[in-house]
Amino acid sequence: MRKVAVIGVGNSKFGNRSDVTIQELAFEAVKEAVEDAGITPKDIELSVVGSAGTRTYELYPAVPINEYAGFYDRGPIRVEAACATGSAAVYTAYASVASGQVDVAMALGVEKMCEVDTATSLAVGGRGGNYLWEFHFFGTTFPAYYALHASAHMAKYGTKEEHLAMVAVKAHKYATMNPKAHFQRAITLEEALNSRVVSWPLKLFDCCPISDGSACVILASEEKVKELKGQDTPVWIEAMGFSSDTANICRRTSYVGLEAAVRASKMAYKMAKIGPEDVDVATVHDCFTIAEIMAYEDLGFCKKGEGGKFIAEGQTELGGKIPVNLDGGLKAKGHPLGATGCSMIYELTRQLRGEAGKRQAPLKNYVALAHNVGGTGHYCWVTILRRRK
C-alpha cells in the first residue's frame, strides 16, 4: 500500500440550488478542487463519482456528470452507499492510488435533492432500510429511523430533548461562520425545542435540511506529491476504517448506538496508530441531532451513555476537548447525500491547513477524523487525516 495525500479540495455552496443542474453543480466543486491542487484536469487519471441519485431526474447520473466535468475517458466509477456515498467515492479513489493503479484520482460527490417535493423525498428516504419489511407495512421515514434510536437512548441513559436541541444550536452557530452552509442563521435552544414534531422525539430543528450540493477531493501518491509543484501542505490519509450492519433495523442488537461506527472507528484508530484522545478536530454524521450524540460515544470521544452530558459541557465546541462539526455539520451545512463524505474531507483538509478562518480549531497533533454513516447505520467510514508538521 502506498501513502496517499489529499492535494486538492472543492465544495459548492450547499442549499436549494434550483439555479443549476446536477452537472453544473458538480462542476463547481471540481473547478475549485483542481485549482486548489494547482494541477490541470489532465493530471487526473481516474474520476470516481458518488451520487445516491434517488431524487434527481437523471437516473444514471454519473456519466452525464463525468462528461460535463471533462473526464469522459477517465471514469466514472460510480459508487453508492446512501448517505455515505461520498466516503465510498473517497475510499475507491484512495484504494486506486494506494494500490498503484493510478497516481492521481478524483472523488466527486454530488446530489440534487430539491427537485422533488418533501413527501416524495421522505418516501425515498423511508425506503432506505428494507422496503418490503419496513416501509411497505409501516411508512418508515428517515427521521423515524433515527427517532427510534433517540427514544432508546433517552430511555436507557436519560438523554433529554434539551441535549438534542443543543446539538442543533451548536450546528447553526458554526454554520454562520461557513459561507458554504445551507443555513446562515443562529438559533436559540427554545426555538429548537419549540419547533414542530417531525417524528417524536425529533423535531424540525433536530433534522438536517434537504439540500443540493457537491464536493470534490483530489488524491495523489507520495511520489506524485513530490513530483508536482506547490504541494506545500499535503494532508495524508492515515486510515480509512469501514464497517456495515443489517438492512433490517429489527435485526440490530440495540438502538443506543451504531455498531458499524464502533467497528469502523476501531479499525481506523488501529491503522493510524492513534486513539480518540489524539484527534484535534472532527466531523461527525449528524443527519439528526441524536446521531451526533451517538457518534461521540461510538467514536470513544466520551463514555457510552454520556453523549448528552458531553454536549451540555461544551466539550465539542471550539475551545472544548474536541471540536466537532465546525462547518455546521449535516444539520446546518446541509446533507446532499453524495457530497457529504467528500465535504467532510474538504472541511478537515482546510482545518489541518489552518485555512478555516473564524472556525479554525487549535491544532496540536495535526490529526482530524471524519465519521460518515450511510443509511441508518448500514455503512460507516471513519477516515483519519494527518498533516505532517
Q: Catalytic positions, please?
A: 83, 335
Number of neighbours of residue 365 by Cβ within 10 angstroms: 13
Q: What is the DSSP letter of 282?
A: E
Between residues 117 and 355, which has the closer beta carbon with respect to another protein?
117
Report how far residue 369's alpha carbon sits from residue 38's, in angstroms, rounded to the nearest whole number.
25
Residues in contact with another protein by CB under 8 A are: 18-19, 57, 118-120, 122-123, 125-126, 130, 132-135, 137-141, 143-144, 147-152, 155-156, 196-202, 248-252, 255
Q: How many residues does the chain have?
A: 389
Rounded to the nearest whole angstrom, what is the least distance from the CB of residue 280 to another protein in the complex? 35
Q: How far is the CB of 149 from another protein (least distance, A)?
A: 7
According to DSSP, the β-strands at 235-244 and 379-386 are antiparallel
Cβ atoms of 290 and 202 within 8 Å: the answer is yes
Nearest CB to another protein, comparing residues 139 and 314: 139
| Cβ-based nearer residue to another protein, 65 or 93 | 65
How deeply is 229 buried, as exposed, middle or buried, from its count of CB atoms within 10 A (0-12, 13-18, 19+)? exposed
Q: How far is the CB of 137 from another protein (least distance, A)?
A: 5
Which residues face 6 on adjacent strands?
A: 219, 235
By beta-carbon proximity to another protein, the closer residue of 63 and 123 is 123
- The answer to whether the beta carbons of residues 284 and 325 sit under 8 Å apart is yes
Q: For residue 296, what is its C-alpha cell? A: 461521540
The 46-50 sheet, strands edge to edge: 77-79, 46-50, 104-111, 213-221, 4-11, 235-244, 379-386, 367-374, 281-283
Q: Are 377 and 287 in contact (CB under 8 A)?
A: no
**What distance in Å separates the CA atoms of residue 382 and residue 380, rounded to the nearest whole number?**
7
Nearer to another protein, 8 or 125 (CB): 125
Q: How far is the CB of 228 from another protein (least distance, A)?
A: 38
Report the nearest approach of another protein to the CB of residue 158 (Å): 12
Output the nine-digit C-alpha cell for 27.
Answer: 462542476
User: Taking the complex as a whole, how short is the minimal distance between the CB of residue 196 and another protein, in angstroms?
Assistant: 7
Burial of residue 133, with CB atoms counted within 10 A of its CB: 0-12 exposed, 13-18 middle, 19 or more buried: middle
The b-or-e profile of 137-157 (16+ CB within 10 A means b, else e) is: eeebbbbbbbbbbbbbbbeeb
CB closer to another protein, 68 vs 133: 133
Residues 6+ away with beta carbon under 8 Å from 64: 22, 23, 58
In the complex, least distance from residue 311 CB atom to another protein, rounded to whole angstroms: 21
